[in-house]
Amino acid sequence: DVNYPVIWSSGWLDVATVDENGMVTGVSPGTTTITATCHGQVRTCMVTVKDLGVGYVDLGLSVKWAPYNVGASDITEYGDYYAWGENVTKSTYYSTNYKWGVATSDTWITTMQYTKYSDSVDGKTELDNEDDAASFNWGDGWRMPTADEFQELLDYCEWEWTNLDDGAEGIEGYLVVSNINGNSIFLPAAGRKYQNGVSKVGQSGRYASRSCSSSGNAYGLYFESGSRRLDTYSREYGYSIRAVYP
């Protein structure tokens, strides 16, 4: 009945969009709910997008953002963890096995002397592509975001802590919605790796940038429910990677 038009919507626009005629278009791998509303009646269906390769989400910022983490294949997965400047995962994350540092211990204090990306060695404050986990593992123009690009997410997007229901216990994290064009990405609270375990899964997210400070610490995005900020951290910790496409 033309007097009662059908209103279509997609639960996750970074997975699939739907037009006014109900035509669904896949954007990136994942699962979303397509909803049809008409004259007070609501019907839904689940749509799964597969085998599209790695797409990107345009948030209207200076770079495009990957829909999921490096090491994942879906927005409901945490992905892998990388020490800063390392492009492969490890079973343990210690200062003593960090690729670009030499650790020395004096009683209870461990001091790191960095052998690359340090004021005293080369003065570099941004990763070379061969040491960039996103560039190395995905190629094709992908790389880790800079500290400034993470700051754009903080400055120009709305952040909503949410539970992304994957049919099991759900995945906690932030839905990041652009104030510029309304597109969104989901950043799961994947915690971090140190020594041989993962901590704070479901409570906080730690995402590495490709930038480091003059002191040698890496810049990264830190968040938990109710707060988020750009921060620095010790490079030997295992952080999540969310790639960007220039």
Tell me the CA distances in angstroms from 159 to 62, 185, 205, one per residue in order.
18, 10, 13
Q: What is the 8-class DSSP label of residue 54?
A: -
For the chain, give percent helix, strand, coil, nearest 5. 10, 40, 50
Q: What is the mean pLDDT of residues 26-48?
A: 83
pLDDT in tens, 183-230: 999 999 999 999 999 999 999 999 999 999 977 899 999 999 999 999
pLDDT in tens, 73-103: 888 899 999 999 999 999 999 999 999 999 8
Residue-level pLDDT at 71? 95
- Residue 105 vs residue 236, higher pLDDT: 236
Burial label, 115 (beta-carbon count in 10 A; 0-12, 13-18, 19+): middle
pTM of structure? 0.77
